[in-house]
A and B are shown apart, each in its own frame.
With several copies, the nearest count.
Chain A
Amino acid sequence: MSVVTDKSNASVKDTQNSAKEDTKKVVYETKDLNLWYGEGHALKNINLAINENEVTAIIGPSGCGKSTYIKTLNRMVELVPTVKISGEILYRGRNILEKSYQVEDLRTSVGMVFQKPNPFPKSIYDNIAYGPKIHGIRDKKILDEIVEKSLRGAAIWDDVKDRLNQNAYGLSGGQQQRVCIARALAIEPDVILMDEPTSALDPISTLKVEELVQELKKDYSIIIVTHNMQQAARISDKTAFFLNGEVIEFAETDKIFSNPSDKRTEDYITGRFG
Chain B
Amino acid sequence: MKGVFFVAKGVVHEHDQNLNVREIIQEKKKTKSFNNYTEKFIPKILFGIAAISVFTTIGIVLTLLTETIAFFKDVPFIDFFTGTKLKPLGENAVFGVLPLLTGTLISTAIAMLVAIPVGLMTAVFLSEYASEKTRRLLKPILEILAGIPTIVYGFFAFTFVTPLLRSFIPGLEPTNILSPGIVMGIMIIPMVASLSEDAMSSVPNSMREGALALGATKLEVTWKVVIPAAISGIIASFVLGISRAIGETMIVTIASGSSKNFTFDVTQSMQTMTAYIVEVTGGEAAAGTTLYYSLYAVAMTLFVFTLIMNMVAQYISRKFREEY
Contact = CB atoms under 8 A, between A and B. Distances in A.
Contacts of A119: 210
B206 A114 contact: yes
A81 B131 CA distance: 8
Counting chain A residues whose Cβ lies within 8 A of the other chain, the interface size class is 35 or more
A140 B24 CA distance: 14
Contact of A105 (B11, B29, B210): B29
Interface string A123-138: 0000000111111110
B209 interface: yes
A136 B229 CA distance: 22
B204 interface: yes
Contacts, number: 114
Interface stretch (A16-24, A33-41, A142-150, A241-249): A142-150
Interface string B41-73: 000000000000000000000000000000000
Contact of B28 (A105, A112, A118, A136): A136
Interface stretch (B87-95, B211-219, B310-318): B211-219
Contacts of B76: none
Contact of A187 (B22, B31, B132, B206): B22
Contacts of A116: 206
Which of B212, B220, B323 gathers most chain A CB within 10 Å? Answer: B212
Given A135-B215, A187-B21, A120 B210 contact: yes
A98 B226 CA distance: 29
A180 B229 CA distance: 17
Interface in B106-135: 131-132
Contact of B213 (A81, A105, A137, A184): A184
B207 interface: yes
B319 interface: no
A183 interface: yes
Given A105-B29, A121-B229, A136-B31, A131 B215 contact: yes
Contact of B214 (A105, A111, A121, A122): A111
A109 B213 CA distance: 10
A122 B228 contact: yes
A187 B214 contact: yes
Prevailing SS type, chain B contact patch: helix
B220 A134 contact: yes
A13 interface: no
Nearest to B214: A131
Contacts of B204: 118
Contacts of B15: 145
10 closest A-B pairs (Cβ-Cβ)? Answer: A108-B215, A136-B28, A112-B213, A118-B206, A107-B215, A131-B214, A188-B22, A188-B21, A118-B210, A135-B25
Interface of A: 74, 76, 79, 81, 104-109, 111-112, 114, 116, 118-122, 130-137, 142, 145-146, 148-149, 169, 180, 183-184, 186-188, 190
Given A137-B25, A188-B25, 19 more contacts: A74-B213, A81-B131, A108-B215, A114-B206, A121-B207, A122-B228, A134-B220, A137-B21, A142-B24, A145-B11, A145-B15, A148-B12, A149-B12, A149-B19, A180-B210, A184-B213, A187-B22, A187-B215, A188-B21
7 contacts: A79-B205, A104-B215, A105-B215, A108-B214, A112-B209, A135-B25, A136-B29
